[in-house]
Amino acid sequence: MRWANRHTHRWQAEAEWGHPPPPEWFDHYVGLHYMGDAQRHNIAEERGVFASLAVPIGGRVLDLCCGDGFYARHFYANRAEKVVAVDFDADAIHYAKRVNAAPNVSYELRDVRESLPDGQFDTIVWSGAIEHFTAAEVTAILEGVRSRLVARGGVLAGDTIAAGDSVNSHLIHHELEYRDEDDLRHTLEQVFPAVAVWRSEWPSRTELYFYAAQESTAIPLGFASGAHVREKISD
Q: Which of 53, 61, 92, 213 lies at the binding interface for ligand SAM (CB under 6 A)?
A: 92
CB 206 within 8 A of CB 165: yes
Binding part of the chain for ligand SAM, among 99-107, 128-136, 162-170, 213-221 by CB under 6 A, reads 128-136
Name the nearest CA neighbour of 196 among 234, 162, 224, 161: 224
Binding part of the chain for ligand SAM, among 1-9, 84-92, 185-193, 210-218 by CB under 6 A, reads 84-92
Phi-psi region of 6 (alpha: psi -120 to 50; beta: other; left: phi over 0): alpha
Encoded one letter per residue, x for contact with ligand SAM by CB under 6 A and - for no contact, window 39-78 reads: --------------------------xxx--xx-------
The number of residues that bind ligand SAM (CB under 6 A) is 18
Measured from the CB of residue 155, what is the shortest distance to ligand SAM in angstroms?
Answer: 16
120 or 134: CB nearest ligand SAM: 134
- Does position 127 bind ligand SAM by CB under 6 A? yes
Say if strands 229-231 and 194-201 run parallel, antiparallel, or are unpaired. Answer: antiparallel
Report how far Cα 163 is from the mean position of its chain's Cα atoms.
16
Backbone angles phi, psi at 7, to 5 degrees: -75, -35
Measured from the CB of residue 225, what is the shortest distance to ligand SAM in angstroms?
Answer: 27
Q: What is the DSSP string of 59-108?
A: -EEEEES-TTSHHIIIIITTT-SEEEEEES-HHHHHHHHHHS--TTEEEE
Binding part of the chain for ligand SAM, among 4-12, 95-103, 107-115, 227-235 by CB under 6 A, reads 107-115
Interface of this chain with ligand SAM, residues 152 to 181, rule: CB under 6 A: none
Specify which residues 229 forms β-bridges with.
196
25 or 224: CB nearest ligand SAM: 25
Q: Which of 9, 13, 24, 73 lies at the binding interface for ligand SAM (CB under 6 A)?
A: 24
28 or 185: CB nearest ligand SAM: 28
**Range 190-211 burial, b when 16+ CB lie within 10 A, else e:** ebbbbbbbbebeeeebbbbbbb
Using CB under 6 A as the criterion, which residues of the chain lie in contact with ligand SAM when the complex forms?
24-25, 65-67, 70-71, 87-89, 92, 111-113, 127-129, 132
